Amino acid sequence: MNRYTYDEIRVGQTESFEVKITGQMLDDFRGMTGDTNPLHSDVGYAEAEGYEDRVAYGMLTASFMSTLAGVYIPGERSLIKELKIKFAKPVYPGDAITVEGEVKEKNDTFNMVVLKVTMRNDKGDKVLRGSMDILVR
């Protein structure tokens, strides 16, 4: 786990990691949230709707923004204040997602950094774009 202080963080700094989305994660997310939408649990339904497989919950993919902030940048001192998320392409079980954050701004008044977030699948397609305002404790 990184432990960057506010002063140690530079505009332009990037951190990234890879995560494999599994069918078990979709099942666990359904169990936790109660989101029983068949697009995420029923392959036949998802295929009939034009998808390759059941579709990962957008908010499951987005949940790795928590890891990006809380473990990578800034790491331990992270406190997420707000986020914006746009879903660009469907994510499927088996996809390996690269999660990248780049520091776009620093706000000295609030010890706040603005992180631009990009997630790509194995093919290099962007699946999620977002930003986070993170207070560095």
- The answer to whether residue 5 forms part of the interface with a copy of itself (CB under 8 A) is no
Tell which one of 6, 13, 71, 98 touches a copy of itself (CB under 8 A). 71
Q: Is 24 exposed, middle or buried (0-12, 13-18, 19+ CB in 10 A)?
A: exposed
Q: How many chain residues touch a copy of itself (CB under 8 A)? A: 40
Binders of a copy of itself among 17-36, rule CB under 8 A? 19, 25, 28-29, 31-36
Alpha-carbon separation of residue 31 from 24, 41, 55, 90, 128 (angstroms) = 10, 11, 16, 21, 23
Structure-block tokens of residue 122: 């194995």
Q: How far is CA 131 from the centre of its chain?
A: 10
Q: Does 114 bind a copy of itself (CB under 8 A)?
A: no
Tell me if 107 contacts a copy of itself by CB under 8 A: no
Q: Is 100 in the site for a copy of itself (CB under 8 A)?
A: no
Closer CB to a copy of itself, residue 12 or residue 34?
A: 34
Q: Could you write out the three-class secondary structure of 101-134?
A: EEEEEEECCCCEEEEEEEEECCCCCEEEEEEEEE
Q: How far is the CB of 107 from a copy of itself (least distance, A)?
A: 16
Kindly list the residues in this chain that would bind a copy of itself in the complex (CB under 8 A). Answer: 1, 19, 25, 28-29, 31-40, 49, 57-60, 62-67, 70-71, 75-76, 78, 80-87, 137
